[in-house]
Structures are given as structure tokens and as C-alpha cells.
Amino acid sequence: MKTQRPIHCGKRGGYALMIVLVFTCIALVMLAGAMTWTSTTATLTQRNNQYYNAAAAAEAATEKVISQMARDFQMQGQAAVDYNLANYRAAVPTTAESATWADFAFSDAQGNGAQTYVNKTFDWAYTPLQSQYVGLYGLAATYRIVSNARAASGLNTNLIAGVKQEIQVSSIPLFQFAIFYSMDMELNPGANMNITGRVHTNGHLYTQPNSATLTYQGDVTAVQEVEEDDKDPDDPTSRNPGSVVFQGAHDSGVSSLNLPIGTNNSPAAVHAVVELPPAGEDPNSPMGQQRYYNKADLVILVSNDVVVATSGSWDGFGIAVPWAQASSFLNTNVTFYNARENKTVQATQLDVGALAQWSTTNSVVRPLLGRDVSSVFVADERAPSSGTEPGVRLVNGQSLPALGLTVATPDPLYVQGNYNAPSAYLGTTNTTTTLPASLVSDAITILSPAWSDANSTKSLTSRTAANSTVNAAIISGIVPSGNGHYSGGVENFPRFLENWSGKTFTYNGSIVGMFSSQIATGPWGGSGVYNPPNRNWAFDQNFMNASKLPPGTPMIRAIIRACWALVAPNTTS
């Protein structure tokens, strides 16, 4: 018989206890590690949060400086920015603005408390622009702004965050845009059309070609929205929507671009730049500096009784041009019918060729001016009778004075015949031999070389146009869409009064719609007014060259953000 061996349970139970103790120790080590990791993570998270809170405070300091620089630049120009650099350096967020700022201490990264680093890194010069304005040129200066911030109390008061921003303060020539509108812009052509330069509107862009392809070759920006639709639901124009092609960027919601006129940039306010100044206005005020009246070399004022031609503000309007001389290029006895306005135009006519000749040879203005006249302001202030309205007409303008010519008027402007258009390049987009030119007015109407005042009251079949070429930047007014009328769009920005069927209007320049017309307010679209031309239009690339900009070109002021970065404490680079 076999005897069963005893089982030694106690010995095996000792091994189990050891295993439990080992795993318990491992668990405790893991728990300790987890607790250490949690503590470290919490510390790092707290430190991270504190750093980014300090960075946000440093950014706020730089933004405070930039807002002050922007205000001074918009109101007074770049010289005011340089003049106030010391004030900007003393600008940091304060408890008077928010109690939050008591939690932070600011410095300029150079050991100076309650200061912000502000320094000009590039002097004021004509230069390529940065950021969203790449491709444009302007007068610009670059400034670097750096702020350091840290917690004023509590843990990690030595944890410093630095923020650097660089900005350009820039004045951008308005005529670097192929099309610029300070209000809503509509472009709805009925034939294929190419826009060869940059486009901007401070309002909406409504664009819906009628059975055609509209191609924007450059960047397109709108402060409001870019919409492939009609603006006015009551627009009577029937369209079969065509194609819109954007070859560059097309961005909505961008910053507005405004003339520095010292007040709001509403169309009504901007219209003042073509008007006579009120009595007592300082010509050096923001508005005074933008008025074409104050920019002109020669000022011509026509009243019911007299024509007064004088030098401009450059010598205090001190030189009177005798009528015996002024009459060689002026005629105030001109009338013709405008079918769109349904009124007779009582015009002051300026013979550009004769003006160029007088400018070269006169002994009145030229000796003091020291050069050819390059800008003229004309205002016809004769009281209109019933059924009439004032106007200024340019004739014989195929060749301009030697330095180019800007003509500005608060009245509707008419351009008859080829303008600034050398014979060798009529009908082409070649502007290599043109001169700087701009036309500024309440409204702009193109009259072809075939225009006849005698036929102006006759039917459209008696007003047959001839091919015409105009090379000039244009600032003028429109009659906005509304009350059952379409504005005519950019395609009809220059107005017409002839039968252009089968004829071509060649235009090289820059179109700027800044305001609503105040005098020529007849809406687009009436019958018997005109038949549209073939449009051969292009942006004039000359305007990208500072030396080829028209005399008195307006400059829009912009703050351009070129750089934003977190930087090491106590560094300014």
C-alpha cells in the first residue's frame, strides 16, 4: 500500500507573499511616477499658460502703439509718425484702460520699464509694398515695435514673453489700381472683357457678365463681398449670366483704403476734392491738401460776368493771366446737347494744344513756375438756366504739354477726340510714348473725333462716332443703381452720346469711381442716347513707375502689417 506525501502549503504561501510585495512596490513606484508626471505637467501647463498670457499682454502693448501710429499717419502723414516716436515708446497698457493690466509689467526689451521699443528700420522712400499689397509700390517707411511682458506678482515673475511687429506706413498712388471704387462697384459687360490690373472696392463688388466671359487678371479685393450677382433686385437690365474668371486672388472682408481728407470717406465727403474750397479753409489741412484746386498750376474760374485765370496756390494765386492770353486756349461760348441729361451743356472749352503752346512761351506764369503748366483746375460757375447745365470740354488734346497734364473740374467733363494718343499707337495698348495724364470731374463723357455740336440735338443715326483713343487716368462720378435704374457699371463709366456700333473706343489708364455725380445725374439706359463701342481697354502700366504718375495723383494711406513674431526676451531683432 502506497503512502501519500504531505503537502507543504506554508512554503508556497511565502512565495506568494513576496510576489504581492514586489508588485505592490512596482505599483507604488508607478503611482509615484504618475504623480510626479502629473505635477510636472501641471507646472508646465501653468508655465505655458502664464507665458502665453504674458505674450498676449505684450501683443496688446504693440497694438496700442500701432493704433496711435495709424491715427497720426492717417491724419498728418509720415512726418507726424517720426515726430511722435518718443510718445509711442512711452505707450503701454494702463489700468486706466483696464484693471487687467495691473497683473503685468512691461518693458522695451532694453531694460527700460513701462516702455515699448519703437524704431524706424527703413526710411521713407518709394519701394515695393509687402503683405497683402505685394505687387504695388508706394512711399513707405518701416517701423519695428517690440514689447516684453511678465506677470507682476505670483509665481514665475521672471517668465518674460516678447512680441515683435513690423509695419509699413505707406502712401499708395491711387492710379496703381486698374479699377478703384470707394463705393459699391458693378461690372456686368455684355461682351468678353479682360481687366488687366488690380481691382479694389470699399464696398461690394457685383459682377455678372451678360452671356460673356469677364476675366480679372490681377488681384481683386472688396471690403464687403465679391458677389457674382446683380446689386439691385429692381435692375431692369435682363442678363443671361456668363462666366467670371479670377486669375488672381479675390478676397472679401479686406480693410478699406481711404483718402486722407480728415473726415469720413463717404462718397459725398470725397466729392469735395473736386470742388472749390469754402472760405477760410486752410490749404494745408487734410482736406485742403487733397483738393485739386490747391494742387493746380493754373486756376480758371468762369462766372456770368468774367473769366479769371490765375496761378495756383503755389504762389498764393498771385499771378493774373490777361484775357488776351487766356482767350488763346479758352472759349466760353460753346453749347451742345447731352441726350442722357436731356439738357443743353453750356461749356467752357479748353484747347489743350493751344494751352501747351502758351505754357511754353508765356511770360506771365512760366518765369515763376519755372516749367510747363502740368495741372489745371477749371470751374464754370455760371448760373444755369432752365434746361441747361455747366460743363468743361477738352479739345485738340492728342498732344499734351511737355510734362503731361491733369485737368480737374467740379463740373461734368467732356473729352472730344483722341487724347494723349501719339499717332503711331492709335487704337493700341502701347503707351510707351504717352505722357502722364489724368481727368478729374463730376462725370466723364467721351466724344469721338466725329462729334458735331450741330448734330447733337439730332437722332442717334446722325451722331455716328469714329474710332477714338484716350490715354489717361480718370476720377469721376457715377449715378448709382436704384429706383429701377442700373448704374451702367464700370463698362459704362465713361459715358457716350454717339452711335459707336462697329467702332472702337481704346482706353489705357486707371478708372476711379470715388463719388456719386452731383451735376450730371441723368441715369444710364435711356433710349436714343448711344450705342456702345467695342471696348479695347487696358490698365496703363506706366502708373507703376513713380516718375510716370499723373500730376497731383492722390495717395491713399495704409498701414501694412509686414511681420508678427514671438521673440526671445530682451531682444529687439
* Identity of the amino acid at 301: L
Could you read off the pLDDT of 413-454 as tens digits, one per residue?
999 999 999 999 999 999 999 999 999 999 999 999 999 999
9: pLDDT strictly greater than 50: no
Share of the chain above pLDDT 70, in %: 94
DSSP 386: T
pLDDT at 38: 61
Share of the chain above pLDDT 90, in %: 84
3-state secondary structure of 389: strand
Provide the pLDDT for residue 36: 61
Q: Is the model's pLDDT at 510 over the cut of 80?
A: yes
pLDDT in tens, 166-183: 999 999 999 999 999 999
Residue 34 pLDDT greater than 70, yes or no: no
Q: Residue 526: helix, strand or coil by DSSP? A: coil
**SS3 per-residue string spanning 61-112:** HHHHHHHHHHHHHHHHCHHHHHHCHHHHHCCCCCCCCCHHHHHEEEECCCCC
Give the list of residues 6+ apart from residue 129 with CB closer than 8 angstroms, or none. Answer: 135, 136, 137, 138, 140, 168, 170, 172, 560
Report which secondary-structure segment, H or E, holds 358. Answer: helix 352-361
Q: What is the pLDDT of residues 267-307, one digit of tens each?
A: 999 999 999 999 999 999 999 999 999 999 999 999 999 99
pLDDT, the chain, mean: 93
d(CA 513, CA 179): 8
Cβ-count burial of 198 within 10 angstroms (0-12 exposed, 13-18 middle, 19+ buried)? buried
Under 8 Å between Cβ of 288 and 281: yes
On the question of pLDDT at 12 being above 70, the answer is no
The region, left, alpha or beta by phi > 0 then psi within -120 to 50, assigned to residue 342 is: left
What pTM value is reported for the model?
A: 0.89
Task: Answer whether residue 32 shows pLDDT above 70.
Answer: no
**Residue pair 168/78 in contact by the 8 Å Cβ criterion:** no
Taking only the tens place, the pLDDT of each residue in 247-256 is: 999 999 999 9
- Residue 476's nearest CA partner among 448, 454, 443 is 443
- Show the cell assigned to 416: 472730344
Stretch 525-529: mean pLDDT, rounded? 94
In the structure grid, which three cell numbers stand for residue 217, read together?
487678371
Task: For 39-84, write each residue's pLDDT tens digit.
Answer: 556 555 666 788 889 999 999 999 999 999 999 999 899 999 999 9
Residue 550 in this model has a pLDDT that exceeds 60:
yes
> What confidence score (pLDDT) does residue 265 get?
87
Question: With the CA atoms of 548, 469, 430 and 127 taken in that order, what torsion angle do they form, in degrees rounded to the nearest 10?
Answer: 30
Per-residue pLDDT reduced to its tens digit, 318-337: 999 999 999 999 999 999 99
Rg (CA), the chain: 34
In this predicted structure, what is the pLDDT of residue 484?
85
pLDDT range class, residue 1, cuts 50, 70, 90: very low
Q: Residue 39: what pLDDT? A: 54
Which of 103-112, 139-148, 225-234, 501-510 comes out lowest in average pLDDT? 225-234
The pLDDT of residue 238 is: 73
**Cα distances (Å, whole numbers) of residue 72 to 65, 116, 118, 559:** 11, 17, 15, 11
355 Cβ contact partners less than 8 Å away, ≥ 6 residues apart = 329, 373, 376, 401, 405
